[in-house]
Structure 1
Amino acid sequence: MTLSVPPGQAVDLRVQPVDEVLDRVERSLQVRLLPDTLVRKRRSVGAGTDRDTWVRIERRPLDKIPEQGWNGTESAARLAGIARPEWHGCVVWRDPVGPAMWRADETELLPGVPVGAAVLSAAPELPDEWWPALNTSLDTLAAQHTNRVATPDTVTITQALVTDTIRSVFTDDVDTTVERWVPAHADLNWANMTAPTFSLFDWEDWGNAPQGLDSAYLWASSLAVPTLADRVLHERRADFGSRDGKWMTLFVCAKILGPYARPGDPRLGPARRMAEQVMEELRTG
């Protein structure tokens, strides 16, 4: 159950054959994947099944699997009061050739369609009840308890990571110590939420993170649409008004403006202006 990948070449499930992987998942979960529903991304593949469920398959390198394990979707099943797909089961195996693990999680179908891409270029049409549902789920999540640590972008978030990321772009010598760590989804963007019925999915990386991480990620995902970014700031104003929320705003701004910044990215200007504003607030606050 391996991929035919030349040595040294990165695995990209959008282009590489995955038939053997899909066959193994079908046998292990005793389910048939529906070919016309197949969605292929760089490191994951998803498909509907003949029992009206969804299966998401991911390949993750061993060095990207933290000590806490690799069961975010499974462990999120115990979270109450959050709009998300119910988890049914999984299969996990070690890649027999490469230094990686495979995991397939089966969940109930989404109640709607993904709002859009990870970074939107146009404002989505959302019903009035969508925003209260988002706020309820995020606030309920932050009030719960876990020993997991969030792994945004598959990297475990730590105080050192926060400090190093911010100071790699913003050189002001200010105390970046995070005071409040709360459970977060850690990959909150418009591709991981549904509409018109709100639901939050893809829980692989959830865990404790600085207050405001989710809100900051959603704001960054909205920056190419100024009215949408402003709506996120308004809806999640309690996060953005906190000191930790300001650090998370700088954290995501540093990711946009840092060494991997893309020329022509419409988020560059808004991120730079927001970063200057937040730095001034931190200096004077």
Structure 2
Amino acid sequence: MTPSVSASLAVDLRVQPVDGVLDRVERSFQVRLERDTVVRKRRSLGARTDRDTWVRVERRLLDKIGGQGWNGTECVARLEGIAQPEWHGCIVWRDADEPVMWRADETELLPGSPVGTAVLSKDPKLSDEWWQAFNSSLNALAAQHTARVATPDTVTIAQSIVTESIRSVFPGDFDTKVEEWVPAHADLNWANMTAPAFCLFDWEDWGNAPRGLDSASLWGSSLAVPALADRLWQERRCDFESRDGKLMTLFVCSKILGPHAHPEDPRLEPARRMTKQVVAELQTG
């Protein structure tokens, strides 16, 4: 039996009882989850199994499951040239008490530990080999073709959302129209990649997005570590110097500098400096 909570309340799986969910996953996959390895996030869970695989479980409201479904991990498994865990299978069920669906995907184990939390506060000291694998995977992803549309934070990205987000923080005389849409991970942060061996995981939101979304998102997660943010900018220079990459830089910074900005966020000042430069370039370009 899955846990029942009023759909009007925000459910956080970091604190919500989840034993019933994990029990159901074990029965369906005919596997034992090693409960001492369980990783709990706001809307997902993960655990190692007794057959040396990993199971990720996600809870999603029905109105957050669009026409393309929410089978990102399954769909990305067919793509070549991307360092990702091999996908084995999945189970999906509808909650008996809420307008919610649950999905569990079983994959091979990650080749390393997550680089860190979503937003880093210290340099992870990544190797040149790591950066090469990172670039190779992002370039291979952007070269794919898909009908999927990215859903960062479970919201389908669209031109209207890009324009609204940018204009809400950066008014100015420049065009916000995106020219190039390419496949993107759409949740690229330091908690979704491994080191010392590079691997990219948590693919539930991938799909077409403005060019540069992934690079800008990761850059925004790196601003508290200037050397890391600078290295990322150099590695993904082709994205950041493109017109769409500049728009995505503003898009990401609108979330950092917007009305919900924390006054002590160390990313505020570097974000302000960069956005001033980017706005000027867009206005004169």
Provide, for residues 125-161 of structure 1, a one-character-per-residue CA deviation record: whole Å limited to 9, x for no partner: 2122000110000001000100000011111010111
Residue 42 of structure 1 and its aligned partner are, at CA, apart by 1.3
Residue 7 of structure 1 and its aligned partner are, at CA, apart by 6.3
**Percent identity of equivalent pairs:** 76
1:1-285 equivalent positions in 2, closer than 5 A:
1-5=1-5, 8-285=8-285
- Mapped to 2, the partners of 1:46 and 1:187 lie a distance apart of 17
Contact 2:115–2:194 (8 Å) recurs in 1 = yes
Count of aligned residue pairs for this structure pair? 285
Q: Give 5+ residue unaligned stretches, structure 2.
A: none
Residue 253 of structure 1 and its aligned partner are, at CA, apart by 0.5
Q: Which shows bigger deviation, 107-116 or 37-46?
A: 37-46
Contact 1:4–1:16 (8 Å) recurs in 2 = no
Amino acid in the other structure paired with 1:207: G
Q: Which shows bigger deviation, 238-247 or 119-128?
A: 119-128
TM-score, length-scaled by structure 2: 0.98
2:191 match: secondary structure = helix
- Mapped to 2, the partners of 1:172 and 1:65 lie a distance apart of 35
- Mapped to 2, the partners of 1:91 and 1:47 lie a distance apart of 15
Provide, for residues 59-102 of structure 1, a one-character-per-residue CA deviation record: whole Å limited to 9, x for no partner: 01112112211101110111101000011000001111111110
- Mapped to 1, the partners of 2:216 and 2:153 lie a distance apart of 14
Structure 1 residue ranges, 4+ long, deviating more than 6 angstroms after superposition: none
Residue 16 of structure 1 and its aligned partner are, at CA, apart by 1.4
Contact 1:43–1:59 (8 Å) recurs in 2 = yes
Amino acid in the other structure paired with 1:88: H
Contact 2:5–2:98 (8 Å) recurs in 1 = no
- Mapped to 2, the partners of 1:146 and 1:260 lie a distance apart of 34
Change (3 A) 1:281 1:86: same
- Mapped to 2, the partners of 1:10 and 1:212 lie a distance apart of 31
Residue 6 of structure 1 and its aligned partner are, at CA, apart by 5.0
Contact 1:118–1:221 (8 Å) recurs in 2 = yes
Amino acid in the other structure paired with 2:107: T
Residue 5 of structure 1 and its aligned partner are, at CA, apart by 2.5
Residue 261 of structure 1 and its aligned partner are, at CA, apart by 1.1
Contact 2:92–2:101 (8 Å) recurs in 1 = yes
- Mapped to 2, the partners of 1:255 and 1:222 lie a distance apart of 14
Residue 263 of structure 1 and its aligned partner are, at CA, apart by 1.7
Contact 1:216–1:248 (8 Å) recurs in 2 = yes
CA RMSD of aligned residues (A): 1.0
- Mapped to 2, the partners of 1:31 and 1:18 lie a distance apart of 17
2:68 match: secondary structure = coil
Amino acid in the other structure paired with 1:249: T
TM-score, length-scaled by structure 1: 0.98
1:129 match: secondary structure = helix
Amino acid in the other structure paired with 2:178: V
